[in-house]
Amino acid sequence: MSEVLVKEIDETRQGEAYAPFADDPNRFLKKFYIESYGCQMNFSDSEIVASILNNEGYGATRNTEEADLILLNTCSIREKAEQTVRNRLQAFKNIKDKKPGVLVGMLGCMAERLKSKLLEEERLVDIVVGPDAYRSLPVLIAEADGGQKSVNVLLSREETYSDIAPVRLDSNGVSAFVSIMRGCNNMCTFCVVPFTRGRERSRDAASILKECTDLFNTGFREVTLLGQNVDSYYFTDETGNNITFAMLLQQVAAISPLLRVRFSTSHPKDITDDVLHTMAQHHNICKYIHLPVQSGNTRILQLMNRTYTREWYLAKVKRIKEIMPDCALSTDVITGFCTETEEDHQDTLSLMAQCRFDLAYMFAYSERPGTLAERRYTDDIPEAVKKRRLEEIIQLQTKTTRENYDKDLGATYEVLIEGNSRRSDQHWSGRNTQNKVVVFPKNNAPLKKCDYVNVRITGSTGATLLGEMVD
């Protein structure tokens, strides 16, 4: 995957451990350490786990040496992610050997598949908890404290953790992720998510609105509504009203014009004109859509069970630009899926050239156990070919990104300040509605984090726009 273009699976955050709570030197008698891998949903889940553990008297630590409970929130999307997790578990086993009594737990997507192997065969963990079973953590910890190996990997058709207020650890205090649904019903043949995270279910709209309102009232200025397929959000409330994703978006946007609203991920088959019009009508719904294409070839898309064609995807992009000409687009692409020919690969390149994505997350196909592709097809593209094709699409995307950034020169954007720039405390860093990072000098102006400011773009470096404030 290209380093410069990463975000959805943010490589800079892989293995991130939470910081201790700012206000808690002595509040918690026991400490937990949690490291998270994978997509934003997993990072979001770790905040739910933190909330459950707080209630059990555990405070967070960034230091494994002082932890009583070490947790790893795992990802199964690609083989590499699983291998990283295994290496970390081995390292934790060494800590445990030195400090008996420490419990090690594995959470998330690897739980179901590897439970017996890691618990019994390799004895790397004491607790295994699947993504729908975090409420049972206190019981499992108690069992494990008593010397039993504890497992709960049951998937649920109802669990959305809607009543649990996530603990915003390590947050910048400006933007937060809000989970609006769990699981996925789509069955893309390459993907483990439907097996590891279960059936799709939508969270109670009222609880989503409450969480977003609370965030706004505590100073946050941006929420990202999260789900594997947000456009199929559908909730029937107590009075029988059906709430679609477009309606939910509208309601979240209505909390305050000062609250920016983002969402991820959209499926090309599900994103509706209603959603696009709702975005266009609200200044505070950010003009940015992550619309994974996966391949530019219709035959490969069919093998992937994406249920749209190349033409359908291109028509969707055209529609988005008709309704919101300034809308930024990003995508996910997989190279070297089963039977992909050079011509199929060229179709992906030509689609990318046509769509001119602002950002792309690009992956070489990695066969995952239990998926439909593993059962039905042969992973027949040699690694070297997958990598070469990946390099080609990365090169094309890097060029497009560069050109798109150059086009921003001279434009003025409203930027939400997120904090100091990474390189200098004399510069602010924030993002524009299209999700591009913008850095500009503070010039002693009376501004602070969470303020909006207009910035004129004067240049760019890598994936960052540079600018100066304007009145």
Q: Hunting for tokens 């997120």 — which residue is that?
A: 418
Question: Residues 54-93: x/- map of binding to ligand SAM (CB under 6 A)?
Answer: -----------------------xx---------------
Under 8 Å between Cβ of 323 and 273? yes
Q: What is the CA radius of gyration of the chain?
A: 22
CB of 438 to ligand SAM, least distance (A): 26
CB of 229 to ligand SAM, least distance (A): 6
CB under 6 A: which stretch of 137-145, 149-157, 362-370, 407-415 binds ligand SAM? 362-370
CB of 298 to ligand SAM, least distance (A): 17
Question: Residues 324-353: x/- map of binding to ligand SAM (CB under 6 A)?
Answer: --------x-x-------------------
* Under rule CB under 6 A, residue 386 binds ligand SAM: no
Among 88, 310, 368, 436, binds ligand SAM (CB under 6 A): 368
CB of 267 to ligand SF4, least distance (A): 6
Q: Work out what residue 436 binds among ligand SF4, ligand SAM, none; the CB cut-off runs from 5 to 8 Å by kind.
A: none
* Under rule CB under 6 A, residue 228 binds ligand SAM: yes
Under 8 Å between Cβ of 48 and 226? no
Name the 3-class secondary structure at 334. Answer: strand
CB of 290 to ligand SAM, least distance (A): 8
Residue among 130 and 194 whose Cβ is closer to ligand SF4: 194
Site for ligand SAM in 186-205 (CB under 6 A): 190-191, 193
**Positive or negative, the Cα torsion across 345, 346, 349, 350?**
negative
CB of 368 to ligand SAM, least distance (A): 5
* Under rule CB under 6 A, residue 310 binds ligand SAM: no
DSSP E strand stretches across 3-138: 16-17, 30-36, 58-60, 69-74, 103-108, 127-129
Q: 339 preceded by cis ω (within 30°)?
A: no
Residue among 46 and 186 whose Cβ is closer to ligand SF4: 186
* Under rule CB under 6 A, residue 308 binds ligand SAM: no
Question: Residues 16-55: x/- map of binding to ligand SAM (CB under 6 A)?
Answer: -----------------------x----------------
Angle between helices 342-355 and 310-323 (to 10 degrees): 10
**Positive or negative, the Cα torsion across 253, 255, 259, 265?**
negative
* Under rule CB under 6 A, residue 294 binds ligand SAM: yes
The binding site for ligand SF4 (CB under 6 A) comprises: 184, 186-188, 191, 193-194, 228-229, 267
Residue among 298 and 366 whose Cβ is closer to ligand SAM: 366
Residue among 363 and 428 whose Cβ is closer to ligand SF4: 363
8 Cβ contact partners less than 8 Å away, ≥ 6 residues apart: 39, 40, 264, 265, 290, 332, 361
CB environment 61-89: b (16+ within 10 A), e (fewer) = bbebeebbbbbbbbbbbbeebbebbbebb
Residue among 228 and 348 whose Cβ is closer to ligand SF4: 228
* Under rule CB under 6 A, residue 292 binds ligand SAM: yes
Q: Long-range contacts of range 347-352, CB-CB < 8 Å, 24 or more positions apart?
A: 347/295, 347/296, 347/297, 347/310, 348/295, 348/296, 348/297, 348/393, 349/296, 349/392, 349/393, 349/396, 350/296, 351/293, 351/296, 351/310, 351/313, 351/314, 352/296, 352/393, 352/396, 352/397, 352/400
Q: Work out what residue 365 binds among ligand SF4, ligand SAM, none; the CB cut-off runs from 5 to 8 Å by kind.
A: ligand SAM
CB under 6 A: which stretch of 13-21, 185-193, 252-260, 277-285 binds ligand SAM? 185-193
DSSP string of 337-360, one letter each residue? -TT--HHHHHHHHHHHHHHT-SEE
CB of 415 to ligand SAM, least distance (A): 28
Under 8 Å between Cβ of 389 and 204? no
* Under rule CB under 6 A, residue 439 binds ligand SAM: no
For the chain, the straight-line distance linking the first and the last C-alpha, in angstroms and rounded, comes to: 40
Question: CA angle, 299 as apex, 294 and 302 as ends, to 5°?
Answer: 65
Q: Which residues bind ligand SAM (CB under 6 A)?
A: 39, 77-78, 190-191, 193, 228-229, 265, 267, 292, 294, 332, 334, 363, 365-366, 368
